[in-house]
Amino acid sequence: MPQNTDQPDIMQTLTVNLGDRSYPIHIGPGLLDRADLILPHLAQKRVFIVTNTTVGPLYLDRLSRTLADAGVRITSVVLPDGEAYKNLETLNLIFDALLTDRAERKTTLVALGGGVIGDITGFAAASYQRGVPFIQVPTTLLSQVDSSVGGKTGVNHPLGKNMIGAFWQPQLVLADTDSLNTLPDRELSAGMAEIIKYGLITDAGFFGWLEANIARLMTRDTAALTEAIYRSCDNKARVVAADEREAGLRALLNLGHTFGHAIEAGMGYGNWLHGEAVAAGTMLACDLSCRMGLFTRADCDRAAALFKAANLPTVAPALDAAEYLRHMGEDKKVEGGKLRFVLLRAIGEAFVSESPADLLQQTLTEAVA
Amino acid sequence: MPQNTDQPDIMQTLTVNLGDRSYPIHIGPGLLDRADLILPHLAQKRVFIVTNTTVGPLYLDRLSRTLADAGVRITSVVLPDGEAYKNLETLNLIFDALLTDRAERKTTLVALGGGVIGDITGFAAASYQRGVPFIQVPTTLLSQVDSSVGGKTGVNHPLGKNMIGAFWQPQLVLADTDSLNTLPDRELSAGMAEIIKYGLITDAGFFGWLEANIARLMTRDTAALTEAIYRSCDNKARVVAADEREAGLRALLNLGHTFGHAIEAGMGYGNWLHGEAVAAGTMLACDLSCRMGLFTRADCDRAAALFKAANLPTVAPALDAAEYLRHMGEDKKVEGGKLRFVLLRAIGEAFVSESPADLLQQTLTEAVA
């Protein structure tokens, strides 16, 4: 079978340990050509590849050829591109295709694209006939380090983001670093926001590595990207393995996300990229941590410097504080009506806490643009 | 707290054993008044009751009063009644209500109604914020013995029944036999079809009990109904506990359903009740089992006699055999393109097998009306 093995030694593999739902993540160049990595995970030589109008023209033929040459029958479903289409109506287009072409219970859904494609295809896989296998082939940096790990799938509702979905684990994740070569600069940066986040949450060593290697990463050095994706997935996988259904520890992954979701909602979804909102949101969390006497301004500055080196915004937009609070109230992390935040007590040491209302108010008025 | 305990000794309880997703099923009269049975299962004194325009006027006030008197805050969602509304659009009405009134992750969804309400509410609970708790309060005989046990939830798609859904277990099932007093005769019979099915599949003793008690059941004797529901749920619960995700044993519960779904589809959904189609479909499965030399005509006749005593059809409509096959091809039980059936080798002994095409053809042409 065809293999692009000009850089085989660069591929890294890690396993997400979830008992009988454990799965491997392969990271490196040329993986779209590696039928040998995919075939062992197909229960049936039949797949539906779900992609979008942006990624499809770039990579659908290549992945299809890899699978077809290995005797796999393929139906492809090309969805419109964008977060605006991450909804029940678009989900139903996948169901239409699955039923029209008679997907069975052992048929595998393959998500070829970024986070939206992964989330919506994963939810289709979780729900079609109450659950069929799926494989993630994330093609953006953000989806390679974030949405492809952890089993969160779903769609948006007009009244809230990611409000409808399921926890559903893939059989396999193939993160082909070659696909990052066609990624717009702004999206590369947005992915870097999540990578930096892992360092801040639990891995000061990785944060230091990122400070030393950010220039190589921004020039898309394959080996550096492979290492950064591996270490990000490894960080996330360990958190997810310890807390699959988001009861506790997993909440740490939401560093910057409560503020970030408010920024995205307040500015209108799509105007700020998710990663950009997470970067600015993380700086708000850093600021709030400082005001609570937990975190130093010097560490705040280190975080800001790394985000800036990744061409990310470090100052949140000056929405009205009340608007921030309103958007944060819609967030899934509300429990018993109280707002809880992921805060920092050092680089690499995140924790969850409620926050005094007055300090939160200060952050929302003084730390914004 | 208020309790209707005029017949407390009639209530029966069984536990569905599914590890940390185990849950109790309480069966008996007056249970809609029993806040004491519900409260221990609420993670938060906040519920959304989902019902329909038929059941709501009969029982919503009573269940709401029971919960409100116990300090539970309630939002009710009243959906249009009928299988035609078991779809993604109606599901979205539930999501609209949950988001508008800010249901949280510990908020419980309560399904008050028949199988459609249970299935759609269960899927809403499985999907809202990737999973919230739910409680089943089935008000029809069919839902009390079938759809409330086993964790199957979902909605229909224009191209197939129950094609979109999730396995999601309730915290609790309350089967109030008083609610059967308002059930139309035809729906009582339809529920009886599933009850008889349990006897045929794995429990010859129960089948004999049903033959002896069918007259009491048809006059809605509370004690007889409680016993029949208990034994049905117990049969189903044991099968489900052994095979939660339908890998093998659980397929036996589909006795009569491959044919039955074809009858429902061929006659237009809603023209035959599900239970009616299952009764006639089970007789086709009996006939096919006879033709394969596995089952006796005498046992066929016993099955038919019991269905008849429950006022159920025992002869399937004379659809074209090709139409039967086409509808059965859409069924979820297709694997690798081959049709497999639940067949009988005796009353109380069902098993799964492929069937010779010629004998299947005979059944579909000679055993129909």
B88-114 pLDDT tens trace: 999 999 999 999 999 999 999 999 999
Question: Is B8 a residue whose pLDDT tops 70?
Answer: no
Inter-residue contact A117 to A305 (CB < 8 Å)? no
B155, B164, B246: best to mutate for the A interface, most A CBs within 10 A: B164
By CA distance, what is A162's nearest residue in B? B129
Give the integer Cα–Cα distance in Å for A335 and A341: 11
Chain B neighbors of A104, CB-CB under 8 A = 334-336
Give the integer Cα–Cα distance in Å for A107 and A43: 7
> In which residue are the tokens 């000056």 written?
A318
The angle, 0 to 180 degrees and rounded to 10, between the axes of the packed helices A357-366 and A321-329 is: 120
Give the integer Cα–Cα distance in Å for A222 and A10: 8
What residues contact residue A211 under an 8 Å CB cut-off, 6+ apart?
Answer: A302, A305, A306
Look up residue B129 and give its two tokens: 């914020």
Inter-residue contact A132 to A109 (CB < 8 Å)? yes
pLDDT of amino acid B329: 74
> In which residue are the tokens 């979008």 written?
A52
Nearest to B225 by CA among B255, B205, B195: B195
pLDDT of amino acid A4: 45
Split at pLDDT 50, 70, 90, the class of B332 is: low
Helix then strand count (H, E) for chain A reads 13, 11
How many residues belong to chain B?
Answer: 369
pLDDT of amino acid A53: 98
SS3 content of chain B, % helix, strand, coil (to 5): 50, 20, 30
pLDDT of amino acid B1: 38
Task: Classify strands B23-28 and B12-16 as parallel, antiparallel or unpaired.
Answer: antiparallel
pLDDT of amino acid B4: 45
Closest Cβ–Cβ partner in A104, A129, A157 for B95: A157
Predicted confidence (pLDDT) per residue in B155-188, tens digit: 999 998 899 999 999 999 999 999 999 999 999 9
Give the integer Cα–Cα distance in Å for B267 and B131: 36
**Which residues of chain A have a pLDDT value below 70?**
1-8, 244-247, 330-338
Q: Give yes or no: A274 in active site.
A: yes
Give the integer Cα–Cα distance in Å for B161 and B193: 19
Look up residue A138 and give its two tokens: 């994330």
- Three-state DSSP class for A214? helix
Q: What's the rounded mean pLDDT across residues B54-73?
A: 98
pLDDT of amino acid B334: 53
- Three-state DSSP class for B157? strand
Q: Give yes or no: A187 in active site.
A: no
Q: Give yes or no: A236 in active site.
A: yes
pLDDT of amino acid A308: 98
Catalytic residues of B, which ones? Answer: 130, 152, 194, 236, 246, 250, 254, 257, 261, 274
Task: Classify strands B73-79 and A340-346 as parallel, antiparallel or unpaired.
Answer: unpaired
By CA distance, what is B151's nearest residue in A? A130
Backbone angles phi, psi at B174, to 5 degrees: -115, 110
Inter-residue contact B224 to B235 (CB < 8 Å)? no
DSSP characters over A267-312: H-BTTB-HHHHHHHHHHHHHHHHHHTTSS-HHHHHHHHHHHHHTT-
Buried b (16+ CB within 10 A) or exposed e, B115-147: bbbbbbbbbbbbbbbbbbbbbbbbbbbbbbbbb
pLDDT of amino acid B270: 74
pLDDT of amino acid A2: 40
Buried b (16+ CB within 10 A) or exposed e, A175-199: bbbbbbeebeeebbbbbbbbbbbbb
Inter-residue contact B108 to B131 (CB < 8 Å)? no
Those residues of chain A whose CB sits closer than 8 Å to some CB in chain B are 44, 88, 91-92, 95-96, 99-100, 102, 104-106, 126-131, 152-154, 157, 159-160, 163-167, 245-246, 329-330, 332, 334-336
Q: What's the rounded mean pLDDT across residues B202-221?
A: 97
- Three-state DSSP class for B271? coil
What residues contact residue A81 under an 8 Å CB cut-off, 6+ apart?
Answer: A52, A53, A54, A55, A116
DSSP class of residue B60 equals I
By CA distance, what is A106's nearest residue in B? B335
Inter-residue contact B232 to B148 (CB < 8 Å)? no
Better pLDDT: A314 or B148: A314
Give the ipTM of the model, two decimals please. Answer: 0.87
DSSP characters over A112-179: EESHHHHHHHHHHHHHBTT---EEEEE-SHHHHHTTTSS-EEEEEETTEEEEEEEE---SEEEEEGGG
Nearest to A367 by CA among A280, A257, A303: A280
Backbone angles phi, psi at B363, to 5 degrees: -60, -45
pLDDT of amino acid A270: 74
Q: Which residues pair with B345 in a beta bridge?
A: none
Burial class (CB in 10 A: 0-12, 13-18, 19+), A285: buried
Task: Give this prediction's pTM.
Answer: 0.89
- Three-state DSSP class for B273? coil
